[in-house]
Amino acid sequence: MLRSIRAQLSLSIMLILLLTVALISVLSNWIINNEFEDYITRQEHQRSESIVTDLGNRYDSLKGGWDHNLLHTIGMYSLYDGYLLKIYSIDGTLLWDAENHDMSLCGQIMGEISTRMSQAKKHGDFVTNTYDIIRSGTKLGSVSIRYYGPFFFTENDYLFINTLNTVLLAVALLSTGVAVIAGGLLARRITQPVVKTAYIATQIAQGNYNLRFDSTPNAKELEEMGRAMNHLTQALSDQESLRKRLTSDVAHELRTPLSAVGSYLEAMTEGLWEATPERLQSCHEEIKRLGVLVADLERLAKIEDGNLQLNMANTDLFEIVQTAVHNLEPKAMKKELSLFIEGDPVIVEADRERMIQVVMNLLSNAILYTQMHGHIRMKVWKDHQAGLIRVEDDGIGIAEDELPFIFERFYRTDKSRNRKTGGTGIGLTIAKSIVEAHGGKIEVTSAVGMGSCFTVTLPEK
Ligand code: ADP
């Protein structure tokens, strides 16, 4: 079974954090407890030594004996601290014994210590160490000290270590909680854009192109992915609307001449209309229009085939422009347009026939979309190892929002459509394909009512 990235990420992040928390808790607990036990053991050893020194200091060397009251005081103090003393004189006589003195108190104190240690889960037993009591190098007697070994906790020690363990446990639990929440949040943050991408992709597959990444994720790669996705959706959406427009355009382009010819012929065969040469001529015109459209489509299909064979040779762009102007001069004269050519010969490697086709396309558009008595300027020049041709008119112009589409097949601006100028909307598509096959580019600037300016750039080689 496949698990979601989010679940896998959350689980991995949580596991790593939990492992870290557990390791830190266990290690710190172990180190602190060990250190504390070492400290207590050292303390207890020192305490035994200080009892022996204390006893030595209490010996009255003038009288050559022990003060029993002092021995009793030291013995009782030690007993309350958990040390049972048996004090002997130099000849081995028992001077003071905690158990003899108060058996039940000894039992109670030892019992308390045993219980505390078993509660703390520290196992040991009572040990007895015997020390000589020595002062200034002379042995004065001996003392045997009995206590819970190797170490024991006083009530305060026990309280301290208990509190410490509780605090450590609380910190571990708190860190675990934070680890779980942080892991979940982090995974969510990483996977959210991925989930959204998948969702948008599914929507695209279902034909919905309106979804976009609105918030940008704050990681570089995810941001790039979001941008790429938005770009893709936009491109697909544009393509889709173009495709719809294209189909309806083909239908529209075919329907008008077909229905005209159809109704003429119907009327003539039914005897409603006489088949005059003018009527037959107009049928012929419509069929010619259809022929042009089909020929344009064929040319486009050939060029976009990808196997466009170019006859590359050294070609003068200025001569190409002159040829195009020569071919279209009659059309321009009909509209009484002024044509200007400017520039010098510029030699580039290109397919002469195809480039004449490109320039004729641009020039015939300029003638078509410029009013009577308008002006068309053409310029040829060289710049940075590239040859450039410009065709500029002061005609109807193209709206800014339509500019990105004019090179798409069948695209005709609303203005040119309204004027019924009769173009097929394929000319610029063909021009662009040819220029790009040469490794060049074609650009346009235009303003409605001011005119348009098309610039073709071709690399020298
Ligand atoms: P068409 O055969 O319709 O001219 P093109 O592909 O050559 O097709 O041009 C596409 C559209 O771009 C035209 O229908 C027209 O609306 C617009 N266009 C092209 N050249 C010009 C121009 N010089 N001035 C204004 N509009 C232009």
Distance 365 CA to ligand 1 centre (A): 6
Distance 285 CA to ligand 1 centre (A): 22
Q: Answer for the pair 16, 182: CB distance below 8 angstroms, yes or no.
A: no
Report pTM.
0.50
269 residue type, one letter:
T
How far, rounded to the nearest angstrom, does the alpha carbon of residue 309 sit from its chain's CA centroid?
A: 44
**Atom nearest to 426 CA in ligand 1:** 6
Q: How far apart are the C-alpha atoms of 261 and 269, rounded to whole Å?
A: 12
Q: What is the DSSP string of 393-420?
A: E-SS---TTTGGGTTSTT---HHHHHTT
User: What sign for the dihedral angle of Cα 42, 45, 47, 53?
Assistant: negative
**Atom nearest to 370 CA in ligand 1:** 24
Mutate to test the pocket of ligand 1, among 250, 402, 417, 428 (most ligand atoms within 8 A of CB): 428
The CA distances from residue 434 to 201, 351, 362, 374, in Å, are 34, 9, 13, 28
Q: How far apart are the C-alpha atoms of 67 and 144, rounded to whole Å?
A: 18
Q: Which of 339, 406, 414, 405 is nearest to 373 (CA)?
A: 339
The CA distances from residue 48 to 44, 75, 102, in Å, are 6, 12, 21
Residue 217 pLDDT: 66
Residue 419 pLDDT: 41
| Residue 193 preceded by cis peptide, ω within 30 | no
Would you tell me how many other CB atoms lie within 10 Å of the CB of residue 366? 27
Distance 173 CA to ligand 1 centre (A): 73
Distance 305 CA to ligand 1 centre (A): 23
Measured from CB, residues less than 6 Å from any atom of ligand 1 are: 361, 365-366, 369, 393, 395-398, 406, 411-413, 416, 423-429, 452
Distance 75 CA to ligand 1 centre (A): 117
Residue 307 pLDDT: 65
CB proximity list for 394: less than 8 A, separation 6 or greater: 370, 374, 375, 450, 451
Task: For ligand 1, atom 14, name the residue with the nearest CA.
Answer: 412
The burial class, CB within 10 Å (0-12 / 13-18 / 19+), for 210 is exposed
299 residue type, one letter:
R
Task: For ligand 1, atom 13, name the residue with the nearest CA.
Answer: 412
Distance 202 CA to ligand 1 centre (A): 37
Mutate to test the pocket of ligand 1, among 242, 365, 402, 424 (most ligand atoms within 8 A of CB): 365
Distance 412 CA to ligand 1 centre (A): 6
**Atom nearest to 421 CA in ligand 1:** 3
Q: Answer for the pair 14, 179: CB distance below 8 angstroms, yes or no.
A: yes
Q: How far apart are the C-alpha atoms of 65 and 68, rounded to whole Å?
A: 9
User: Which position has the token pair 């200025």?
Assistant: 318
**Angle at Cα 303 formed by Cα 302 and Cα 308, nearest 5°?**
95
Residue 291 pLDDT: 86
The burial class, CB within 10 Å (0-12 / 13-18 / 19+), for 345 is exposed
Phi, psi (deg, nearest 5) at residue 446: -160, 155
User: Which position has the token pair 């004090």?
Assistant: 87
Which positions of the chain have pLDDT values less than 50? 418-419
User: Which position has the token pair 């003018």?
Assistant: 278
Q: How far apart are the C-alpha atoms of 200 and 417, rounded to whole Å?
A: 36
Distance 411 CA to ligand 1 centre (A): 8
Residue 339 pLDDT: 94
Residue 346 pLDDT: 95
Q: Which residue intervals of 58-137 are DSSP H helices?
A: 68-81, 98-101, 103-119
